[in-house]
Amino acid sequence: MTVRIRTDELAPLVRELLALDRSLNPSDRKVLECLLLEPEPTTARELARRTRCSVQALYLALDRLENRGVILRERRSTVTTFRAAHPSAVMHELLGAWRKAGDLAERIEGPLRLLHEERVERGPDRTARGATVTTSLTSCLSALLGHIHGVTSEVWVIGSEAPWLTHSPLFERELLSKSTGRPGVRVRLLVRKPPPSSEEARRLRQLKERGLEVRYSTRFATPAVVVDRRWLFLENAASPDRSSDTVSYLQLESPGLCADLVASSEESWARSTGPE
């Protein structure tokens, strides 16, 4: 059975992929998109009509794309036509830099994490064995992300997710990736119920729709995150209503305290409800 490919469905995906390659200028992207979606050889005149590129911009784009090996130029008698290289060759060329970046990231992530965690262990804010206090949310989030990246069993976000999610989209992505992409890891948000029309309420509904477990509870007031029943991260404001600018962040290694917090959280979870 022959399967017909609908180019109108494929075109937005091709356009989105090409937009990610910053080395392609707008004319390059238009021409390559056109040729990828048209397997038959195409003349420059037809390309100019379809892409609405000027003649000068069109030929410059064709030269650049040919030099990268993603299009082929064919001369027959007095007619010159252009077509895309095999899609696998095009994808290999476009994804080459990303694959190299991914390989490098895997090689250096571990050593960099050790370097930063070692610095946190010896940092001037350290006040007690197993605990670190800082006034820098960025520093706290950096350590928190490191522990969530290596989580093995569970993450609890209790009290309020606002300090962590509002300031770090990466924190949200890490929670989602661990919740949906790592078997055996449970991620739960047990947070105070925000006003229905607030930005926080909208964000929590979206997180639930994307696969996170979210429920409401008034039991916990202090924003906190517990990772693997071992690591506790707290935001400590000078006043409950955050009217003071004095806010500090505590990172504490305390399996006993974390186990107690998780036990209380599980008890509250059983009686709570989530976003509708």
User: What string of pLDDT tens digits covers the 276 residues of the chain?
Assistant: 455 667 788 899 999 999 988 899 999 999 999 999 998 999 999 999 999 999 999 999 999 999 999 999 998 888 999 999 999 999 999 988 888 888 887 788 767 766 665 554 444 444 445 678 888 888 888 888 888 888 999 999 999 888 888 877 888 888 888 888 778 899 999 999 888 888 888 888 888 888 889 999 999 988 999 999 999 999 987 655 555 567 888 999 999 999 999 999 999 999 998 887
pLDDT score recorded for residue 120:
47
- Same-domain check for residues 34 and 156: no
Task: Please check whether residue 214 is in contact with residue 276, taking contact to mean a CB–CB distance below 8 angstroms.
Answer: no
- Same-domain check for residues 79 and 16: yes
Residue 252 included in any domain: yes
- Same-domain check for residues 121 and 82: no
pLDDT score recorded for residue 186:
92
- Same-domain check for residues 164 and 250: yes
The CB density around residue 216, as the number of other CB atoms within 10 Å, is: 16
- Same-domain check for residues 65 and 177: no
- Domain containing 139 equals 109-271
Number of domains observed in the structure of the chain: 2
- Same-domain check for residues 128 and 61: no
pLDDT score recorded for residue 184:
87
The one-letter amino acid code at 104 reads L
- Same-domain check for residues 151 and 266: yes
- As a whole number of angstroms, the distance between CA 179 and CA 157 comes to 13
pTM over 0.75: no
CATH number at 252 reads 3.30.870.10
- Same-domain check for residues 120 and 168: yes
- Same-domain check for residues 138 and 241: yes
- Same-domain check for residues 203 and 80: no
pLDDT score recorded for residue 245:
62
SS3 for 181-239 is HCCCCEEEEEECCCCCCCHHHHHHHHHHHCCCEEEECCCCCCCEEEECCCEEEEEEECC
Residue 183 included in any domain: yes
**CB neighbour list of residue 196: distance below 8 Å, 6 or more residues apart:** none
CATH number at 79 reads 1.10.10.10
Task: Please check whether residue 246 is in contact with residue 238, taking contact to mean a CB–CB distance below 8 angstroms.
Answer: yes
